[in-house]
Chain A
Amino acid sequence: MVIKTKSGSESSILSVGVYRPSRLVPNSEIVDAIDSSDEWIVQRTGIESRRIAGDDESVVDMAIGAAEQALVRSKLTIKDIDSVIVATITYPHQAPSAATAVIQRMGNPTAAAFDISAACAGFCYGVAMAHDFVRAGSAKKVLVIGVEKISDFTDPTDRATAFIFADGAGAVVIGETSDAGIGPVEWGSDSENRDAILMNPSWIDVRDTETQLTKADVKWPNITQEGQKVFRWAVFSMSKAALKALDSAGLSVNEIDAFIPHQANVRIIETMAKEMKLPDSVIIADDIRTNGNTSAASIPLAMDALLAKHPELHGKLALLIGYGAGLVYAGQVVKLPPKP
């Protein structure tokens, strides 16, 4: 007996949508808790402000906000979507997934749905998977959502992280197209350095501590980061990975129009661009300056901001690269969505 298989078509990003939390927090609001200054934060990271979600803006609320905008822009409804991938490391339930809450609340409760844990690389992992689903015939239209509420897992007094991370969501609809709108993924890990960005302790440690000590002694699994180690890896290994993604798509730095890296730190972005020898014609996303580092949400948020500022980039080629805790990374060339 032979097993019958399916095959699909090429795919593209049909639209992008975002949800930015309403509260904008300037550096001046957070500097006292970390004994720092606006100048110091801007010099180290380029971040001037970030958005922090309120109690009425949960991971699922923000994911749905971004998904709804992406669907409107592609003139589709949730009923047209057959799979939903949510990339997040801050959904506060082990199970069921944030993706199943999204499909249930949005009104397509039977779609395939799951979450992925690839931290700040999560969105690019999701794009790679969605593209492969469409090419393999496993799905026709996939919603990929990157969403984080990292403020729930950040210590406001940690001088290494408190000024970096932020909240938000971004989503894309990936669907069938006759031409390739998404290039091959370049992805991998450097798991020897998996302790460089951590959320510790484990839930088991939280539980066991809680039974032994007072609530005030329970250490919450806030994010920690070894800044210099991450900077070195991000700049020098990720610029090589990004160039490989470009090469896999058969393109050179002179043939792309935009560079949308994970919005980790302006210094990382600028040094990567220098290492990669990107020509001045390539427009570089810098959404982090006003919206902080939103982990899995940062690339679609930056894509949306870039298209708003440079409408001429609709339909043009962009190089994406996500990298983060793991350490894991993924990058690909994409054709930016058409003008809605």
Chain B
Amino acid sequence: MALSAADVLAGIKEIVEEVAGIPAASIELDKNFTDDLEVDSLSMVEVVVACEERFGVKIPDEKVTDLATVGDAVNFIVNAAA
């Protein structure tokens, strides 16, 4: 199922807000999960699993470290779902 980048971004905003308590409004494509949003490594795992469930994709552990920014995650999920 093809997903639009806008839908994925909206979903990630909700997930990150829910998991890490970060207001959705401050979550943008160029934000770095660790440096800008202060999502720590364990919260990142929760975000990843929630994304897998919501978007029906697999994000392997070894790929998680490549997802530095929100934009990286959006691109990965859009491509994985394509």
Cβ of B51 to closest chain A Cβ, rounded Å: 12
Q: Which of the segments A3-11, A27-35, A87-95, A224-232 contacts the partner chain?
A: A224-232
Say if the beta carbon of B34 comes within 8 Å of chain A.
Answer: no
Residue of A nearest to B48 (CB): A232
**Given that A43-B40, A44-B42, A267-B42 are contacting pairs, would A228 and B49 also be in contact in the complex, using a CB cutoff of 8 Å?**
no
Interface band, chain A = 10 to 19
A229 and B61 within 8 A (CB): yes
A228: chain B residues within 8 A (beta carbon)? 41-42, 44-45, 61, 64
A271: chain B residues within 8 A (beta carbon)? 46
Q: B residues 1-48 with Cβ under 8 Å of A?
A: 40-42, 44-46, 48
Q: How many residues of B contact A (CB 8 A)?
A: 10
Say if the beta carbon of A203 comes within 8 Å of chain B.
Answer: no
Residue of A nearest to B44 (CB): A228
Q: In the bound complex, how far is the Cα of B48 from the Cα of A285, in angstroms?
A: 27
A227 and B40 within 8 A (CB): no
Q: A residues 39-75 with Cβ under 8 Å of B?
A: 43-44
Say if the beta carbon of A235 comes within 8 Å of chain B.
Answer: yes
A231 and B61 within 8 A (CB): no
Instruction: Classify the interface of chain B: helix, strand, loop or mixed.
Output: helix
A232 and B49 within 8 A (CB): yes
Q: In the bound complex, how far is the Cα of B46 from the Cα of A4, in angstroms?
A: 54
A236: chain B residues within 8 A (beta carbon)? 49
Residue of A nearest to B64 (CB): A228
Cβ of A129 to closest chain B Cβ, rounded Å: 32
Return the CB mask of A224-267 against B: 1 if under 8 Å, else 0.
Answer: 00111101100110000000000000000000000000000101
B46 and A235 within 8 A (CB): yes
B44: chain A residues within 8 A (beta carbon)? 228
Residue of B nearest to A232 (CB): B45
Cβ of A240 to closest chain B Cβ, rounded Å: 12
B40: chain A residues within 8 A (beta carbon)? 43-44
Return the CB mask of A279-310 against B: 1 if under 8 Å, else 0.
Answer: 00000000000000000000000000000000
B41: chain A residues within 8 A (beta carbon)? 227-228
A265: chain B residues within 8 A (beta carbon)? 42
Residue of B nearest to A229 (CB): B61
B61: chain A residues within 8 A (beta carbon)? 226, 228-229, 232
Residue of A nearest to B41 (CB): A228
Residue of A nearest to B65 (CB): A228
Q: In the bound complex, how far is the Cα of B61 from the Cα of A231, in angstroms?
A: 11
A44: chain B residues within 8 A (beta carbon)? 40, 42
Can you list 6 pairs linking A and B with CB atoms under 8 Å apart?
A226-B61, A228-B41, A228-B45, A235-B45, A235-B46, A236-B49
Seen from chain A, the residues whose Cβ lies within 8 Å of a Cβ on chain B are 43-44, 226-229, 231-232, 235-236, 265, 267, 271
The 8 closest A-B pairs by CB, nearest first: A232-B45, A231-B45, A229-B61, A267-B42, A228-B45, A231-B42, A228-B41, A236-B49
